[in-house]
């Protein structure tokens, strides 16, 4: 994969270089051709050759003698040149602005020499004609210079073809070397990124580290963030999968026990010699086990609906102090709790909260029942209302540290819950109810000192 990317990138670089070379070549040929067919364009309008060819318009023949107009004289001054008009024999018949030491006669060889080369005064000469006269236009120290060279067109074309091929090959080789080095630098992290994505596809969420990240540093940073997120989600998924398996196992176990009792006592009821009093006892056992199974399934359904946010909340504005006080009074009036020391305290008389009264009552009762059934009868339980929430505190046995982190998990039973009846979903349901209202729960406990639960609503 790495070399495939490198070859593709190198091919792209070479293609671009090749295209640029030929585009530049065609542009150069086009510009030269355009200048060739349009000699009056802005690039060549002020050259000496062009000025000399067009200067004849400022000249005329009067009485057989050449005459230069005033406009021609002004044009010569502006161009920075001077003019000599020659007859057929090379004699100067008239001049304009010519230097005093300018020759009065030119032989053919002298004309050829000064046209090809500058004279000793670094003057460049241009030659024009009007009828039977010729004229020399000289410019001292001009900006342009004449270069004379002779070449064979066939040899020149052959040489230029070879040169073009050589330059193209050299440019492509240079581009290939640079492109190869650059593509290796670029494709190495790209290949690494592709391999990394493949690892993520295979559910390998290990965070990777690369020393030279270059321009791909944000990409590697984002991939690391994705790996960390996916790894956390995978751990959560595994945790939930383990919990689900435990739930199924616990539900199956909890259902098998009462089902076995129901089946056994139902078989006893079919016996003919069973006394009526025994039949009533058997029927009572079957009823209790049936009620337990119904409560277990109801609790399981409730906690699943709360976790999946499918449970509608009938929120009401409620004065928190009176709500909790009534709940404690109902407990004290219940014969099951008459032997327990349950007290109520409040320093927030006017605190109003909006919540589902039925669900909140169940959540608070679960915490109080938990404090009652897991402690001795002489344990003191205090239910308090503050401006920030509700506190349920006892001075009982306490909870072991290894149990605190898992106490809100479904079906979890701590080390001090032997022979305790229940569905194992009470505290998990309470936590789900509080969180469904946007609140949170904090639990602190010390062995031998007691447990404190704080319900903080949003």
> Can you tell me whether residue 377 is helix, strand or coil?
coil
CA distance 98 to 168: 51
- Can you tell me the mean pLDDT for 288-317? 75
Residue 312 scores a pLDDT above 70: yes
| The pLDDT value given to residue 418 | 47
Q: Give ∠ CA 62-67-68 in degrees, rounded to 5.
A: 150
Q: Is the pLDDT of residue 211 over 70?
A: no
End-to-end Cα, the chain, rounded Å: 54
* Rounded Cα distance, 115 and 52, in Å: 13
Inter-CA distances, 249 with 154, 252, 261, 395, 417, Å: 97, 5, 19, 34, 19
pLDDT score, position 185: 66
C-beta separation of 401 from 413 below 8 A? no
Q: What's the longest Cα–Cα distance across the chain?
A: 167
Q: Are β-strands 59-62 and 65-68 bridged in parallel, bridged antiparallel, or unpaired?
A: antiparallel
**Whole-number Å distance between alpha carbons of 387 and 456:** 10
pLDDT in tens, 358-414: 888 888 888 888 888 888 878 889 999 988 889 999 988 888 887 777 777 655 554
Q: Do strands 92-96 and 81-86 pair parallel, antiparallel, or not at all (unpaired)?
A: antiparallel
Helices (H), 355-407: 357-373, 401-404
Tell me: pLDDT of 48 over 60: yes
Looking at the chain, the whole-number percentage of residues with pLDDT higher than 70 is 80
- Can you tell me the distance from the alpha carbon of 123 to that of 58, in angstroms, rounded to the nearest whole number? 22
The answer to whether residues 443 and 452 touch, using CB atoms and an 8 Å cutoff, is: yes
Over residues 170-194, the mean pLDDT reads 72
Query: What are the pLDDT digits (tens) for 146-173?
Result: 777 666 777 778 877 887 787 778 777 8
CB 383 within 8 A of CB 392: yes
Q: Return d(Cα 39, Cα 37) in angstroms, integer.
A: 6
């Amino acid at each position: 994969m790495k070399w495939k990317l490198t070859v593709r990138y190198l091919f792209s670089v070479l293609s671009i270089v090749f295209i640029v070379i030929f585009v530049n070549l065609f542009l150069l040929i086009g510009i030269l051709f355009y200048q060739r067919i349009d000699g009056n364009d802005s690039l060549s309008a002020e050259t000496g050759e062009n000025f000399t060819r067009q200067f004849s318009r400022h000249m005329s023949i009067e009485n057989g003698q050449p005459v230069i107009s005033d406009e021609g004289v002004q044009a010569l001054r502006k161009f920075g040149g001077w003019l000599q008009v020659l007859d057929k024999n090379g004699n100067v018949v008239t001049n304009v602005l010519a230097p005093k030491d300018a020759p009065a006669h030119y032989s053919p060889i002298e004309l050829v020499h000064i046209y090809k080369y500058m004279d000793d005064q670094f003057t460049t000469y241009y030659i024009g004609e009007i009828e039977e006269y010729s004229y020399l236009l000289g410019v001292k120290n001009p900006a342009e210079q004449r270069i004379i060279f002779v070449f064979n067109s066939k040899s020149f074309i052959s040489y230029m073809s070879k040169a073009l091929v050589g330059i193209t090959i050299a440019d492509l080789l240079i581009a290939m070397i640079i492109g190869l080095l650059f593509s290796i630098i670029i494709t190495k992290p790209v290949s690494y990124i592709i391999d990394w994505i493949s690892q993520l596809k295979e559910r390998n969420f290990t965070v990777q580290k690369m020393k030279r990240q270059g321009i791909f540093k944000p990409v590697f940073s984002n991939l690391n963030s994705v790996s960390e997120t996916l790894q956390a989600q995978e751990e959560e998924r595994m945790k939930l999968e383990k919990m689900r398996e435990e739930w199924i196992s616990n539900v199956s176990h909890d259902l098998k026990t009462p089902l076995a009792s129901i089946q056994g006592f139902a078989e006893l009821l079919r016996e003919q010699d069973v006394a009526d009093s025994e039949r009533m006892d058997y029927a009572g056992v079957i009823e209790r086990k049936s009620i337990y199974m119904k409560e277990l399934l109801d609790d399981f359904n409730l906690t699943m609906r709360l976790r999946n946010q499918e449970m509608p909340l009938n929120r009401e504005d409620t004065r928190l102090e009176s709500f909790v006080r009534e709940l404690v009074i109902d407990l004290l009036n219940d014969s099951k709790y008459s032997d327990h020391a349950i007290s109520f305290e409040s320093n927030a008389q006017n605190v109003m909260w909006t919540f589902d009264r039925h669900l909140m009552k169940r959540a608070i009762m679960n915490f109080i029942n938990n404090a009652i059934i897991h402690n001795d009868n002489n344990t003191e339980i205090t239910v308090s209302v503050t401006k920030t929430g509700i506190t349920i505190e006892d001075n009982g046995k306490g909870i072991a540290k290894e149990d605190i982190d898992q106490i809100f998990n479904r079906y979890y039973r701590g080390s001090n819950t032997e022979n305790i009846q229940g569905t194992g979903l009470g505290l998990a349901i309470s936590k789900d109810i509080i969180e469904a209202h946007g609140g949170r729960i904090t639990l602190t406990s010390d062995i031998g000192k007691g447990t404190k639960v704080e319900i903080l609503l949003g």
